[in-house]
Structure 1
Amino acid sequence: MKIVFIRHGKPDLPELGKLQANELHQWIKAYNAASLDTAQQPPKQAVELTKQCNVVVCSNLRRSIESAKLLGIRGIYCIDAIFREVELPYCNIRSPKLSATVWFVLFRILWFMGYSNHSDSKSTVKQRAAIAAGMLQY
């Protein structure tokens, strides 16, 4: 069995300026609810790769399902939250305004170091990954 992971397309969201740490959660909510940017087309290599797939699974997020359709997938075998990417942690403190990229990198590093406020812990993510892997075995 060959398993291929393809990341979703670009969500239809406005560019972020600088923000405080306590503003990040609003962006995360918008990101999770966003549809795809309709101006984009998937890479030809991704389209060709998905043509070789016997089974396609997606997370339950709109951008994941829309990405599969954009790639030409006609039937999604399973749509489940278990296949979602790891949520970005955040905190509700006032802070200096920094670029979104700085916050994303900082909070992802903190997550790897064990900080998981408002997101799944590493141990929970590992358990979820094991369950997802079990679902892929058929």
Structure 2
Amino acid sequence: MQWVEGYQTANVICCKLPADLIQLASTAGVLACSSLSRCMQSLNHLAGERPYECDKIFAEAHLPGFDLPWPKLPVKMWRLMLRSAWFLGLSSHTESIFASNQRAKQAADMLIALAQEHGSVLLMGHGIMNVLIAHHLRKQGWAGPLHLVLKDFWHPTVYQKA
């Protein structure tokens, strides 16, 4: 799916960043992010040249893919249909929901270890993977929102050890 490849490699255009997010980034004990280019670019926009931990374990759970010349639908429609199919178990050309969930547990464990070592950690991550990681953080006794805001790319969510 050519539009997915384009999305993965596109440059991130930065906007005015929320003050609370800038504050979180400047006071975080350590910064972490996914190995996907748009995530690293976003963290650079937010934190400048500050070093960070980069790991593919935090990468987004990709959409299943098909190379169909039809039907012609808006990208948002394809994303909704393909993500729904993924949640139902379709994982053509990508990691299954089960494998993504296992990876999210490992990511949560890594974040907990980083937080214990550095006092706090800021993760620049991706929508669905952030939801899966948050689920595992809550299962391990961390308090934070039950539902993450996925429509705002710069919306911080805070989890704390209960």
Instruction: Tell me the TM-score range normalised by the shorter chain.
Output: 0.7 to 0.9
Which amino acid counterpart does residue 86 of structure 2 have in structure 1? W
Compute the displacement of 1:75 (Å).
Answer: 2.9
Compute the displacement of 1:73 (Å).
Answer: 4.8
C-alpha separation in 2, matches of 1:116 and 1:52: 39
3-state DSSP of counterpart to 1:56: strand
Compute the displacement of 1:90 (Å).
Answer: 1.7
**Structure-1 residue corresponding to 2:112:** 137
**Structure-1 residue corresponding to 2:149:** none
Compute the displacement of 1:126 (Å).
Answer: 1.1
**Structure-2 residue corresponding to 1:5:** none
1:52-109 CA-partner distances (Å, limit 9, x unpaired): 3111111112211121121125433310111111111121223221111111111111
The structure in which a higher percent of residues are helix is 2
**Structure-1 residue corresponding to 2:4:** 28
3-state DSSP of counterpart to 1:64: helix
For normalisation by structure 1, the TM-score amounts to 0.73
C-alpha separation in 2, matches of 1:34 and 1:94: 23
1:94-132 CA-partner distances (Å, limit 9, x unpaired): 322111111111111111111111111011101111221
For these two proteins, the number of residue pairs brought into alignment is: 113
**Structure-2 residue corresponding to 1:6:** none
Stretches of 4+ aligned residues off by more than 6 angstroms:
none
C-alpha separation in 2, matches of 1:57 and 1:73: 13
C-alpha separation in 2, matches of 1:70 and 1:94: 37
Does structure 2 conserve the Cα–Cα contact (< 8 Å) formed by 1:50 and 1:73?
no
C-alpha separation in 1, matches of 2:88 and 2:51: 35
- Residue 122 of structure 1 pairs with residue 97 of structure 2: yes
**RMSD (CA atoms):** 1.7
**Structure-2 residue corresponding to 1:87:** 62
The structure in which a higher percent of residues are strand is 2
- Residue 43 of structure 1 pairs with residue 15 of structure 2: no
Unaligned runs of 5+ in 2: 114-162
Compute the displacement of 1:49 (Å).
Answer: 2.3
- Residue 107 of structure 1 pairs with residue 55 of structure 2: no
Deviates more, 1:47-56 or 1:113-122: 47-56
Which amino acid counterpart does residue 33 of structure 2 have in structure 1? C
- Residue 65 of structure 1 pairs with residue 40 of structure 2: yes
Does structure 2 conserve the Cα–Cα contact (< 8 Å) formed by 1:60 and 1:79?
yes
